[in-house]
Amino acid sequence: MATDTKTALLNSAERAARTRGFDGFSYADLSADVGIRKASIHHHFPTKAALSVALMERYYDDLKAVCDQIDVSHKTGGARLTALIDRYRSALEGGKSLCLCVSFSTSRESLPEEVIAQIGRFREMIIAWTETVFAAGQTDGSIAHVANPAVEAAAALPLLEGAQLAARVEENPALFDSAVQILTQRL
């Protein structure tokens, strides 16, 4: 099925942002990748800020759907935590990429306020969901030593994000695996 221009632009921008960061791509890059004029990009996204907000909104919706699917397909808190860790690891794409939120966060000074707000919205959602994962793991015994699910969730997200950064710097996913052992050994 053919992809519409707006979706093609979002896909191209996401690939570029995840591998090169917010400052690492321009409308000229998107124009060349998608095969349209820069002026046509402005028709869909008048500014890079508008494009970035749209990317973060789509990313939020996609990850929310992934979390909902994990809840349906994985019955224990431990299995859900494993699925979340696997999602963050797969976003590395062999150490060549980061998840969009982490990638954008590395360019905070360049980000429009609307994008920073979207990153905050995303982080709130994923931390709240992860809290339910730790609570389930505490109740069903599938995650060892859970004292406070809210504290665990607040620590787990920065651990996953930092593990991605370490693996990306050296293009070595094994560094991600090593960093998240503090979580995986509790499963």
| Mean per-residue pLDDT of the chain | 96
- Give the DSSP per-residue string, 25-36: --HHHHHHHHTS
Could you tell me the domains of the chain? 52-184 (1.10.357.10)
Roughly how many angstroms between the first and final C-alpha of the chain, as a whole number?
41
CB 137 within 8 A of CB 146: yes
Place of tokens 């002026």: 39
Give percent above pLDDT 70 in the chain. 99
Q: How far apart are CA 83 and CA 85, in angstroms?
A: 5
- What's the average model confidence in pLDDT over 50-64? 97
- Residue 1, pLDDT score: 54
- Quick one: pLDDT band at residue 69, thresholds 50, 70, 90? very high
